[in-house]
Amino acid sequence: MSARKLVPEQGGDPFRHASSAGIIEGLRMKTESFDYIVVGAGSAGCVVANRLSTDPSVRVCLIEAGGSDNSLRIKVPAGILSLYGNPDYDYCFVGVPQPKLNNRRIPVNRGKALGGSSSINSMVYIRGAAEDYDEWAGLGCAGWAYYDVLPVFRKLERNLIAQDPRYHGTDGELLVDNPRDPNVLSGMFVKAGKNAGLPANKDFNAESQFGLGIYNVTQDRGQRFSSFSAFMRPVLDRKNLTLLSECEVIDLVIAEGRATGMRVRHEGQQKLLSASREIVLSAGAINSPEILMASGIGPANELQQIGITPVLDLPGVGKNLQDHVDGMITVRSRSTRTLGLSIANLPRIAAAPLQYFARRKGMLTTNYVEAGGFAKTRHANGPPDIQFHFVPGYRSHRGRLIEYGHGYAIHTCVLRPKSVGEIRLSRDSSRRDVLIDHRFFANEEDAMVLVEGIKIARKILAASEFDEVRGKEMLPGKDIGTDGEILAYLRAEALTVYHPVGTCKMGTDDMAVVDPATLKVRGVDGLRVADASVMPKLIGGNTNAPSMMIGQKASEMILDSAHRGGK
C-alpha cells in the first residue's frame, strides 16, 4: 500500500496558490519557527501539545482558529444553549441537502474556541464499547484494540467518584464526576427503563454499556472542564510553548515530500510558521481534511476540478464520513419539576444564579442531557446499536432554541451507522467552503434501526414513573404509530448529535490516509493527524473522550520517534 507520488513541480513552492504579486508579498511574510506545530486546541490537540512541550528543549506551537474560552457561556453548564449556532464559538457548518431526509440541510456544530468542541459539547464522558476498538484492530489497525486503548483512557482520567479501578484512572488530568444537581426527571427516566427491559447502569465505561443511567461528566465542581482546562491551562507558563488563538491555517508548505510549515492568518496578517520536526493536524473531522485538501493533498481528480493543483494524490482524504443520526421524541408537560421557561417557574429561575455561584447547585448545573443509555434493537448483532440522551426540559417542536413551557424529551441515535458520506471543498477562491455530505439513510438499515429506537424510547416514556408529569407528545405525535409513519417523521425531522469522524481514517487499505502505527499521513514526511478523523469506524458513544485518547496515543508515537532519532 502506498500513496501516489508527490507532484515534483509543486513540491518546493510554499506560495503555490498565490498570484505572482502574492509571491512577492509572500517573500516578505513574517516567519516564526518551531520544532512542532499542533493545529487545533480541541479535545485531541490540547493533549498533544501538553505532552510534546514537556521537553523544555523543543519549541511547541499550538494553533486555534477560535478565541478565548473565558466566558460564563462556556464555563456554566447550562450555557450550552447559547453556544450552538453562535459564530463566536461555533463554526456553524451546514451540510449539503440530504436526499433521504427530504433534501434538508443538517446543521453541523463544531467548537471554535480554546477547547474546540469540548468547550461547546454536553460534557458527557463516554468511551464507546470494547467491541468498537477490537473492530478497529480487525480492520488492520494493530495497537488500537480495547486492551490497547483502555490503559490510555485510564492514564488521562482523574475519576472523582470511586468507579472501578480496572476501568478508571485517578492520576490523570481529566476530571470525571457525577452531575452536581440532576433534575428529578432524570432519575425517573432511569427507573422507567425497566418498562423496556433496560436495567440501571451506573458505569457505561465499565463492563457493559447496556441499560440506562445518569451520565458521568467532564466537570470541575459543576463547571465545564474542557480539554483545554485539563491539559493546557495548567502548563501555559511553559517557556517553550506558544499558543496562537484566532489563528487560521491557510495551507501547508510541502517541500520535497515533507511538510515544513504552513501559511496562517493571525492578527490581521499572513504569517509563515515553520516546523523543523513535525506538524500535527488535530483540527477535527471537518477541518483536518479541509486543510489537507486546501494544501493539495487529497483525491487528485477532485482537487483539479476545483482549481487546486494536487501535491499528493491521496484518495481517502475527506471520505469515510460517519456520524450519529438522531431522532427526537418531545413531550409537553404542565409540571414545573421539569426545566422550563414559565411564569410559575420564575422563582426557580431567579434563584438559579445564586444557587450556582454559592453552592454549584440548581438549574444552571444542568448539561441538559443528564441521563441516557444504550439499548439493542432487533437489528443489533453484538453491542447496543442505539443510544439515548434524555432531556428533563421541553425541546421545541418548532426547532426553536428556547420554547415557553415545560416538558421532557428523548434523543435516540444510531450508534454504528452503515451510511457513509464525505467532505469536499467547493470551487471558491478561498478554498475554505466545506461541503459536508453525511448521506444519512443512504443505507436503509440505519433508518430501520432508528425507527426501532424511537419505539423503544416510547416504551420508556410509557412507564408509570412518568405518570405524574405526563403530557402531550408533540413530536412525532400520538397519531404517528406505524413504522412507515415514524420513518416519514424521521425523514422530516432527524438531525445529528454532532459526532463526525473518519475523514482521514487510519488503516492499511487504499483509502487509508494515515498509518495506524504512527498516524503519519501516507506519502508525506513530518505530518500526522491526531483527532476523530482517524477513526476507521464510528464508536458507539460520544466522541470527546476517544479523541483525547487518540491525542495521547499520537503524542506517545511522536515522542517515541524523537527518542529513537526519527524526524
Which residue ranges form the domains of the chain, and what is each CATH number?
8-69+228-321+501-536+548-562 (3.50.50.60), 180-214+325-414+441-493 (3.30.410.40)
Output b/e per residue, 171-188; b: 16+ Cβ within 10 A.
ebbbbbbbbbbbbebbbb
- pLDDT tens-digit profile of 364-382? 999 999 999 999 999 999 9
Cα–Cα dist 281/301, whole Å = 23
Does 548 or 6 have the greater pLDDT score? 548
pLDDT value at 321 more than 90: yes
pLDDT given for residue 429 in this prediction:
55
Cα–Cα dist 404/396, whole Å = 9
Give the orientation angle of helix 483-493 with respect to helix 444-461, to 10 degrees.
100
Residue pair 372/358 in contact by the 8 Å Cβ criterion: no
**pLDDT-based confidence at 23, cuts 50/70/90?**
very low
pLDDT given for residue 432 in this prediction:
62
Compute how many other C-beta atoms are within 10 angstroms of the C-beta atom of residue 338: 25
pLDDT given for residue 567 in this prediction:
46
pLDDT value at 431 more than 90: no
- pLDDT tens-digit profile of 132-191? 999 999 999 999 999 999 999 999 999 999 999 999 999 999 999 999 999 999 999 999
Cα–Cα dist 129/146, whole Å = 8
11 alpha carbon, distance to own chain's centre = 33
Residues designated as active site:
499
Mean pLDDT over residues 256-264, rounded?
97
Q: Provide CB contacts within 8 A for 203, sequence distance 6+.
A: 163, 164, 167, 213, 216
Which grid coordinates belong to 450?
Answer: 432508528
- pLDDT tens-digit profile of 76-122? 999 999 999 999 999 999 999 999 999 999 999 999 999 999 999 99
Strand, helix or coil for residue 321: strand
Percent of the chain at pLDDT > 90 equals 90
Helix, strand, coil tally for the chain in percent (to 5): 30, 25, 45
Query: Interior CA angle at 94 toward 75 and 297, to 5°?
Result: 100
